[in-house]
Structure formats: C-alpha cells, structure tokens
Amino acid sequence: MRRGDPPVAERSRAWFARPTEVVARDLVGCALVVDEGTPSAVVARIVETEAYLGTSDPASHAYRGPTPRSRVMFGPAAHLYVYFTYGMHHCANVVTEADGVAGAVLLRAASVEDGLQTVTARRGDTVTRSGLLRGPGNLCRGLGITRDDDGIDLLAPHSRVHIERRTGSPPIVVGTRIGLRHAADRLLRFSWLGDPAVSGPVPRDSVETR
C-alpha cells in the first residue's frame, strides 16, 4: 500500500454508505461469500435486490424510527440486517447510508457459484439449481443465514458473510418491489436481466446498464 492510502476497510465502508438505491443496483453481480475457508463454504452471485429507504419509505422497517428490531438499519453501513417474518422465514439485508441514517438492501435472489452440495443439503435435492436461492426466504435458508447473523460486520475478517465486488457489468432491469402493501409503485427492485434465478414476475419497467 502506498503511503497515504486509506485503510482498505474504510474505503469499502464508503462504497456501502452511498445512497441505498445506488448500492442496491451495484450489488447485483457481486458475490456473496459465506463460511469461507470451511468445508461448507458457499459462493453465490447476487442476481436480484430491493432498496428499502429510511424514514421516508412506508414499506421500510425504519419508517417509524428505530425499534429493537430495526436498529441495525440506523447504524453504520456494510452490516447485515436479518429479520424473521411469517413465523418461518428469514430475510437478509445489507445496511447502507451514513451512520445514523437508515437504509438497507434486501437480498432477493442469488445464483450458486460454489458450494452446491452445501446449499442442496439445506434446501433439499428436489429443488432446481436456479431455484436454490430464489426468493429472500429461500436465499437465507440456502446460505444458513438466521437472526444469529443480525448485525454482523461484512468487512470484519472473521465475519461468516462477506461481499466481493466482481468485474463486469451485468444488464440490470428496474421494477417495482414485491409483496408490499405501501409504496408498492416505487421502482426500487433491481434484477439481472434474464437470469433464471430472479424471483417473482420478470420486471420490464425499464432497463439500464452501468
């Protein structure tokens, strides 16, 4: 490292601390690395995300201010926010924005690159390969993410979940978020165009490249 370079961890934190919808778009194509260096390591490429903003977003857990559940969303970026819903499913988010400002990106779908045997063992061998991590609940189950992982720092060396940026720019489709009662019309869903692991109806609202 040249003299004067900022620490790598700080530079990465700044990347996650950008506006939530920008991070949501840029996370598509990144790799999720779970339990690296263990026999059950998994690498999966993110193919679909949704942005959940702070106190201005009626669909966000942060809408009414911090609660015991949502407090991680108000903390520093690059942490994991995991919540439990419908009495049976976990959903994983990447925290965005500056410390004190709420924002998070829901990880909706991913494509298994490595660790297929581990993911299949968790999801069952009747699930098709593209369906293994399709949908936020299935993604958490296939990766073994639970509330125990709530609040972990993605940049900490010992963390069991990391995110790696990858070269290349996949074609991104922008659409409406899925399963919402409020603010259902906002274009805050980002999908890898044409990827078979994308969940829900294929969004066709607009296409952008980066």
Q: Are strands 172-175 and 42-52 parallel, antiparallel or unpaired?
A: unpaired
Q: Which stretch binds DNA (CB under 7 A): 16-24, 38-46, 76-84, 189-197?
A: 76-84
Of the two residues 74 and 172, which places its CB atom closer to DNA in the complex? 74
Which residues are CB-contacts of 175 (< 8 A; sequence separation ≥ 6)?
187, 189, 191, 203, 204, 205, 206
**Smallest distance, Å, CB 5 to DNA?**
34
Which segments of 1-114 does DSSP mark as H helices, in order?
8-16, 20-27
Regarding 59 and contact with DNA (CB under 7 A), the answer is yes
**Beta strands in the chain, from DSSP E residues, in sequence order:** 31-34, 42-52, 80-85, 89-95, 104-114, 161-164, 172-175, 189-192, 206-208
Among 52, 74, 190, 192, binds DNA (CB under 7 A): 52
Q: Which stretch binds DNA (CB under 7 A): 4-12, 33-41, 136-144, 189-197?
A: 136-144
Of the two residues 59 and 187, which places its CB atom closer to DNA in the complex? 59
- 3-state secondary structure at position 187: coil
Give me the residues that bind DNA (CB under 7 A), please: 50, 52, 59-62, 64, 67-70, 73, 81, 83-89, 91, 93, 104, 106, 127, 135-139, 147, 177-181, 199
